[in-house]
Structure 1
C-alpha cells in the first residue's frame, strides 16, 4: 500500500515538473521571440530593411506606414519624420573677403521629401539627428563660407538681404538634391567688435549730420517766415501811408478858393471874428 502511494506521488511530482518546464519554456520563448511591431505615426515614413537572405542590405528597402509587424532578427525598421523640423545650430565663424570674422548663429527649418527617404538612408546610413549635426551642418557652414568670401565686411552689413538670398539659393540646391526641402533659415550675424564700433560711430556721425541739417533747414525756414512777415507788414504800412498821402493830396486839391469861400459863408454865424481869432475861424471853416 505504501509502495502504491510512493509511486503515485512520484508520478504527480513528474507531472508538475513537466508542466512547470513547459510554462518556463513558453515564457523564455515569449521573451526571446523576435517578432514585434512598430507604429508609424502620421507625418512619418518608415523604411523596412532586410538583414538576411538574398535581398539583404540597403538595396532592398520598403517604405511602410501604420502598424508594421516584423522579425527583429532578420528585419530592421527605421522611422523618419516628414513634418517640418527645426534645428538650432551652435554658432560658428566665417571670414569675409577682407578677412573680417563674422559670427553666425543659424536656425534651420526644413522637411524631408517622403519619396526620397530610402535614398537618404542608403546614402548616409545614419539617424536623422546624426544627419542634421553632420551633413546638414556642414552644408550650412559651406554656404555661409562661400557667400561670405564674395562680400566685404561693409557690404555684408549694407547688403544683408542680398547676402542671405545667396545663402538661401545655395541651401535650396544642395539640400534639395538629397531629399531635404529648405523651408526657412534664421541667422543672427554678428560683426567683429572693431567693425561694430566703426558702424556705431558712423551711425552717430550720420545722425549728428542729419540733426544739424534739420536744424539749419528749420532756421532757414523760420528766417524766411520772419522775412516774409516783415515784408508783409512793411508793405501794409507803405500801402496805408500811400493811401493817406493820396487822400490828403486829393483833399488839398479839392479845396479851391471858391469852395473855401463857400464853406466860410455856410459856417459863418453872422458875427465878425475878434482880433486874434481869425486863423482859428478859417481853420474851423476848412474843417
Structure 2
C-alpha cells in the first residue's frame, strides 16, 4: 500500500504593523513643519521701532510703496515684499578736519573767498526726516541714510557755503559777518533739502581756517586799527580836557571880572556917599567924651558938626 506523504509547512504568523516606525515618520514631518514655521512665521512680521518708519519694497516689481509703515508690528509676505527701516528722529551730521565729534574722517568743507583765498570750515547740520517723504528719498538714492548724509547732503552743504563765502572777504567771514554767513547758508540748505524730506533744524560753523599768511596779515591789520583807535581816543580825551580847562579859565576870569566890577561899583557908591558931615558924624559916634592926652600947654580943638 502506497503511502501518501502530505508535506507539512510552517504555520504562518499574522503580520503586526510597527507603531514605532509609523510614529517616527510623523515626528519627522512634525519637526520639519515646526522648523519651517520657525523660519517663515517670524519673517512674516516686522517690527518698526519708535522714531523710525518702514519702507515697503516689492520684490517682484521692484517698486516702493508711497506710504511708509509707522512704528509697531506689521504683517508682510516675506516672499514678495521687503522692509527697509529708516530713522525720522533728529540727527546731526558733523563734518570736521579730524576724527572728532562723530566725523568719520577729514570731512572739512573747502571753499574760496572773494579774494580767491582757500578757506576750510568745520560745520554741523541737525535735521529730521519727514516721514511721508522717506519713500521718495529711498527711491531716489536707494541707500541708507548715512551714505546719503556723507554724499549728497555734504555736497549740498559745500555748494551753499561756496555761494555765500565766495562773495565775502576772509576778514569779514572771520569777524563781523560770520553770523550772516551761517544764517544765509542755513536758509539755502532748508530750501534745497526740503524736496527730499529733510527738515533742517540748525546749521553751525564750528571753526574757520585760512592760510597762515592771511591770518598774520589780518592780525597785523587789527593791531594797527586798535592802535589808531587808541590814539584817536587819547586825542579826543586831550581835546576834551583842554576844552574843559579853557572853560574853567574863562569862568574864573569872568568871576574875577565880575568881582572887580562889583568892587569898583561899590567903591564908587561909597565915595559918592562919603560927605564931610557923614565923616564928622561917624567920628562923633565913636568919641567916648574924653579929651585926648597931649603934652604942652596947647588945648586940642575938637570941631563938632555944624547942625543945620
The TM-score with structure 2 as length reference comes to: 0.73
The structure 1 residue matched to 2:186, chosen from 168, 173, 197, is 168
The structure 1 residue matched to 2:84, chosen from 67, 78, 89, is 78
More off after superposition, 168-177 vs 21-30:
21-30
- Report the equivalent of 2:202: 184
Q: Which has the larger radius of gyration?
A: 2
Q: Report how far residue 79 of structure 1 moved.
A: 1.8
- Report the equivalent of 2:294: 274
Distance 1:152 1:11, change over 3 A: same
Q: Report how far residue 27 of structure 1 moved.
A: 4.2
- Report the equivalent of 2:31: 24
- Report the equivalent of 1:151: 168
Unaligned runs of 5+ in 1: 283-287
Are 2:74 and 1:68 equivalent residues in the alignment? yes
- Report the equivalent of 1:285: none
Q: Report how far residue 20 of structure 1 moved.
A: 4.6
Q: Measure, in 2, the Cα distance between the counterparts of 1:153 and 1:62.
A: 47
Distance 1:136 1:57, change over 3 A: same
Equivalent position SS for 2:235: helix
Contact 1:49/1:61 (CA < 8 Å) preserved in 2?
Answer: no
Unaligned runs of 5+ in 2: 1-12, 96-106, 303-308
- Report the equivalent of 1:218: 237
Q: Report how far residue 142 of structure 1 moved.
A: 1.9
CA RMSD of aligned residues (A): 3.2
Are 2:43 and 1:33 equivalent residues in the alignment? no
* Number of residues of Structure 1 aligned to a counterpart in Structure 2: 269
The structure 2 residue matched to 1:57, chosen from 62, 67, 85, is 62
Q: Report how far residue 231 of structure 1 moved.
A: 3.2
Q: Report how far residue 187 of structure 1 moved.
A: 1.6
Distance 1:266 1:172, change over 3 A: closer
More off after superposition, 78-87 vs 126-135:
78-87
Larger helix share, 1 or 2: 1
Q: Measure, in 1, the Cα distance between the counterparts of 2:190 and 2:292.
A: 120
Distance 1:256 1:129, change over 3 A: same
